[in-house]
Structure 1
């Protein structure tokens, strides 16, 4: 989801350097509360990470940066610039919760009015900006998957500025950083820390994904007495006994049917989100084992096959669904649904194309946006899409042989709010959890609205059951009632909605929009240009055919009159409709590159997805430049 000024640096001609704007913000974390300045960091290489807490790609980047921060600890300072997409994300409490939940140890500045975002000409999340020791922008990269490229860029800067005498070595150690690092690695094992999902066993015990404690907590039916934990509380990926196993930000949980569990030898399936794995737990012995995923994050290529040979990407929730004959996986990292067969030991794409958006269609053609919560109600699978603030469903199509995706509540990537009433006008804000309530209605953990919402499938009406919660992320139905997983309050609390058939209150909130302004384009022909500059020491790899690929589509489809589809050229002329006010241009680009300094070069694919909000005006621009990686233009 990136739009930045085009950068063409494949030529060797010199460029004027661009001075990096000074850091500003309304609050700082991991600095002892003191603001940092580029002037004060002169002599260090500074890596600015423009992120927002609800963006799964931004979460991937946090993991990519950790080894770089360790490798270059004496010369590199990472500063997270938190520029919010949703209204809730702009609050200080929200940023503080995200820093703790995600284990962010480097300095973070809140940019609630997106001032730094605009000064650095950032257009989407995540964007990385490298500032050299003299205070000039040296490199810009959009999206994720740039770890190796950044390593080369930083290494080159170290060599250059050490020779010039402008590099200042010495670990950056603000007063609060050491304490934050210890806190963010866990240590709350006597209680919950940012729990995310929960399920109930047949015996009435409640299993909770204790996300920031990197473990699964098992409570008695009173939802208070802690019986045991799966995982030792430290971030990692270790199979074995319950007290030595390790997870990384586990989230979704599902129990397998008894006949399936007896065959495969485990009862509980866990979406081990930050490890990009599915883990199985034998609830009798406590043994934990990996059952799907390689530990590598999926970037491109086949995502179907033997489960232990297939890369996954941020599985966020899991749910057994008899109709599909397996476990549906909310693959938040690439905006799809997967299907895991525990008996056959296979996983496959179930729905979605990997394009981020909201499009109802047959399962293989539908668009999703950070699928985050799943629930089964008979022949229908319900789900919440966080980035489109939508409640959606999957069911059999008219032939009975395939599946089709529909939307009950939700509009697009940029519209949200807290509004009840008829489904076609109701609004959510980044919901993460969902369940079927005892009365058959659908309960939604409307995370960024701090509310529990109720959708009645029979009437199509939405109401609010509970408000003023701290980032609720799931709901779980127990014998003693419905409980809310109140993540930022580190607890499970009763829903307290009165009788089971209570319909709640009606909230008439305003329609809000993502803060990022749309790009204004002219109707008619517009030149779309995607620039990719291979990292230092690499070149485009065309040994087996074209090294680049470009796919363009639009929502609504009528926005794009001509120029859609797939091609190999990263430049294309598209024709935009004159009778459509605006929408979203969906652009997917990829490029293959290889190292040039090895007999057997390491090759990789860089892939970037953009969802570019556009508004059509007669005086709009006739060009749309996009960049995957490069250095700034003059």
Structure 2
């Protein structure tokens, strides 16, 4: 060892102080004198910061390997107002699985004493109480591991190393069905799929959003494919339906595994779509085969423009996954952190964390959390900002979008009228941005860190992450208004049997006319469904006015969209140029799948004699 290196300078470590007190110590308050004889690593962090969360994960192996000589102390140093709330810090420590003591320093007293300038910063203190190293940013675990080994050898030889159990005391576990859920998805069945982030599982809830139907994942941190009970995740977040052959698959943003996973809804089988399990670093490939390319903290996913778009929070970008090609690539962003609009390759983001596609499929809305912004990407790749001005401007203010303020939002949800609900996480609120008026309003408050919301009819179901539950709210009338060019049917759904359903479009040519087949088929039938998962087979176009459809028994209800056309001409053999007429009708038929109900659906095309 070379005692002349900067890290060996004899600088006494300042005392640890913080008005919020200590967590994970069983109620005991600590001083540096209490830790004398141990190697101490101070981790200055704040729970909004994705780089800080990366460091928490980097330190886990080091913490376990040197548990009898090393004490890691998290010094929580808030950026946002909400992060200065002691209760929020308590939640974050559990949410992110922090297994070492944490000093809550809401006024940044210790931060100032150590002259820290950035999140995250790591400070190493030797067993005699002197600062020997300081590192800003992430990716330093390997260097600190070497330093810890050197300090162990040096102070064991000097007799100044003290081994034994550290000060960490785990909190008592709390029994709840969900624990800090992250995102939710409405399934074709009407049930909800929820990423139960802290328990490293996916949970399917019944339509009441409370009753647990099944759990997927072992419940321990890991990266294993397989059956529901053996597959493992690591703090999963975003969920989106994939357009598989039967529409029964979900793509999962497996955040701390830096991967995309695929869940087969029918079997519960979990496989890996993208990512290697390693975190992407500058200089790594930014495109290529999905299973061979590193990702970085994917936080949400959405299907947009035929690809799965990924909110890559860890590198402040949007990436895409192409299911057909099995490849990933950067979709937008430079990795620079900030708020800059413009072409995809020039835009800047800051921890994009929530995605939603507009009803017309032309906008990808996103919650850009660290800039407290609502932004969108158009089909041409241009990036725009609706609400938000930068990394350090935040608050809770309604009004014109240019003046409105959010605070670290994590989720976005498109509402029936085309407006956007924002899960304004650190304001404990659900906000609404209306593109038609350019104004922001508040829909609900007192929602304890809402991180996502799901539209269900004229209700919205909010993921209250810090209350460990889903909460149903009724939307105000203005959020469910229908534009004058759209139509909404209020009629009762038609009950039909799941499985095979014969669709018959009944057409009779008017008196004195007949179907004219001289130039080919004179009829056409087009069938589709909403949701698309309702229709397992029988969709598409054809020339017969009947069709055998197969309805998915896992989808409780939906709408069959039927378009039929028939051409008839005057039935007069003496007329060389008969008059012809086109008869066309479109139906949107609400259906409810009920075992034992009718297996035939007759529709009468205009032109039938009365």
Q: TM-score, normalised by structure 2?
A: 0.76
- Aligned with residue 331 of structure 1, among 300, 312, 317: 312
2:92 — aligned with what?
98
2:288 aligned with 1:305 = yes
Checking the alignment, whether the CA contact within 8 Å between 2:333 and 2:347 is kept in structure 1 is yes
Checking the alignment, whether the CA contact within 8 Å between 1:211 and 1:249 is kept in structure 2 is yes
Query: How large is the Cα RMSD of the aligned pairs?
Result: 1.8
2:135 aligned with 1:141 = yes
1:72 — aligned with what?
66
1:379 — aligned with what?
362
SS at match of 1:252: strand
Greater shift, 94-103 or 433-442, is seen at 433-442
**Distance in 2 (alpha carbons) for counterparts of 1:224 and 1:137:** 50
- Aligned with residue 359 of structure 1, among 322, 334, 340: 340
2:405 — aligned with what?
427
**Distance in 2 (alpha carbons) for counterparts of 1:304 and 1:41:** 47
For residues 241 and 500 of structure 1, do their structure 2 counterparts lie closer, same or farther at Cα, with a shift above 3 Å needed?
Answer: farther
- Aligned with residue 404 of structure 1, among 363, 382, 385: 382
| Alignment: residue pair count | 476
**Distance in 1 (alpha carbons) for counterparts of 2:365 and 2:458:** 24
**How far 1:165 sits from its partner (Å)?**
1.2
- Aligned with residue 13 of structure 2, among 16, 20, 29: 20
For residues 145 and 16 of structure 1, do their structure 2 counterparts lie closer, same or farther at Cα, with a shift above 3 Å needed?
Answer: closer
**Distance in 2 (alpha carbons) for counterparts of 1:500 and 1:200:** 23
Which whole-Å deviations, capped at 9, do the CAs of 1:86-141 have from their partners, x for residues lacking one? 00000011100101100111000111000111100001100000000010001111
Which whole-Å deviations, capped at 9, do the CAs of 1:291-334 have from their partners, x for residues lacking one? 1000001112212100000001000000011x2x2000000000
SS at match of 1:383: strand
2:209 aligned with 1:228 = no
**How far 1:501 sits from its partner (Å)?**
3.0
2:266 — aligned with what?
284
1:446 — aligned with what?
424
- Larger relative contact order (Cα-Cα within 8 Å, sequence gap ≥ 6): 1
Checking the alignment, whether the CA contact within 8 Å between 1:44 and 1:132 is kept in structure 2 is yes
Checking the alignment, whether the CA contact within 8 Å between 1:353 and 1:364 is kept in structure 2 is yes
2:66 aligned with 1:84 = no
- Aligned with residue 271 of structure 1, among 228, 253, 277: 253
**Distance in 2 (alpha carbons) for counterparts of 1:443 and 1:480:** 13
SS at match of 1:275: coil
- Aligned with residue 372 of structure 2, among 378, 383, 389: 389
**How far 1:499 sits from its partner (Å)?**
3.2
**How far 1:203 sits from its partner (Å)?**
2.1
1:201 — aligned with what?
187
**Distance in 2 (alpha carbons) for counterparts of 1:441 and 1:479:** 15
2:434 — aligned with what?
456
2:193 aligned with 1:212 = no
* Residue pairs, 1:143-222, within 5 angstroms: 143-174=137-168, 177-179=169-171, 183=173, 188=175, 191-222=177-208
Which whole-Å deviations, capped at 9, do the CAs of 1:556-588 have from their partners, x for residues lacking one? xxxxxxxxxxxxxxxxxxxxxxxxxxxxxxxxx
* Residue pairs, 1:473-488, within 5 angstroms: 473-479=451-457, 481-488=459-466
* Residue pairs, 1:550-589, within 5 angstroms: none
**Distance in 1 (alpha carbons) for counterparts of 2:341 and 2:153:** 52
**Distance in 1 (alpha carbons) for counterparts of 2:27 and 2:356:** 42
**How far 1:66 sits from its partner (Å)?**
0.6
**How far 1:439 sits from its partner (Å)?**
2.3
**How far 1:14 sits from its partner (Å)?**
9.4
Checking the alignment, whether the CA contact within 8 Å between 2:311 and 2:354 is kept in structure 1 is yes
**Distance in 2 (alpha carbons) for counterparts of 1:251 and 1:336:** 17
**Distance in 2 (alpha carbons) for counterparts of 1:14 and 1:273:** 34
Which whole-Å deviations, capped at 9, do the CAs of 1:164-200 have from their partners, x for residues lacking one? 11111112145xx1446xx4xxx85x60100010111
SS at match of 2:371: coil
- Aligned with residue 492 of structure 1, among 470, 484, 487: 470
For residues 161 and 384 of structure 1, do their structure 2 counterparts lie closer, same or farther at Cα, with a shift above 3 Å needed?
Answer: same
2:103 — aligned with what?
109
SS at match of 2:375: strand
Give unpaired runs (5+ residues) of structure 1. Answer: 1-8, 397-401, 504-634
**Distance in 1 (alpha carbons) for counterparts of 2:480 and 2:454:** 17
1:40 — aligned with what?
34
Checking the alignment, whether the CA contact within 8 Å between 1:28 and 1:35 is kept in structure 2 is yes
**Distance in 2 (alpha carbons) for counterparts of 1:284 and 1:14:** 57
**Distance in 2 (alpha carbons) for counterparts of 1:173 and 1:136:** 20
Checking the alignment, whether the CA contact within 8 Å between 1:204 and 1:479 is kept in structure 2 is no
For residues 407 and 80 of structure 1, do their structure 2 counterparts lie closer, same or farther at Cα, with a shift above 3 Å needed?
Answer: same
Checking the alignment, whether the CA contact within 8 Å between 1:466 and 1:497 is kept in structure 2 is no
SS at match of 1:375: strand
Q: TM-score, normalised by structure 1?
A: 0.73
**How far 1:160 sits from its partner (Å)?**
1.1
**Distance in 1 (alpha carbons) for counterparts of 2:24 and 2:170:** 8
**Distance in 2 (alpha carbons) for counterparts of 1:435 and 1:14:** 50
For residues 12 and 480 of structure 1, do their structure 2 counterparts lie closer, same or farther at Cα, with a shift above 3 Å needed?
Answer: closer
Which whole-Å deviations, capped at 9, do the CAs of 1:481-521 have from their partners, x for residues lacking one? 21110000000001244436389xxxxxxxxxxxxxxxxxx
SS at match of 1:278: strand
**Distance in 2 (alpha carbons) for counterparts of 1:447 and 1:108:** 23
**How far 1:231 sits from its partner (Å)?**
0.7
SS at match of 2:29: coil
**Distance in 2 (alpha carbons) for counterparts of 1:279 and 1:204:** 22
SS at match of 2:430: strand
Give unpaired runs (5+ residues) of structure 2. Answer: 482-610
- Aligned with residue 346 of structure 1, among 327, 351, 355: 327
1:611 — aligned with what?
none
**Distance in 1 (alpha carbons) for counterparts of 2:300 and 2:307:** 14
Checking the alignment, whether the CA contact within 8 Å between 2:364 and 2:376 is kept in structure 1 is yes
Which whole-Å deviations, capped at 9, do the CAs of 1:414-442 have from their partners, x for residues lacking one? 11000010011111000000100122210
For residues 150 and 247 of structure 1, do their structure 2 counterparts lie closer, same or farther at Cα, with a shift above 3 Å needed?
Answer: same
**Distance in 1 (alpha carbons) for counterparts of 2:65 and 2:345:** 42
Query: In terms of Rg, which structure is larger?
Result: 2
Checking the alignment, whether the CA contact within 8 Å between 1:438 and 1:500 is kept in structure 2 is no
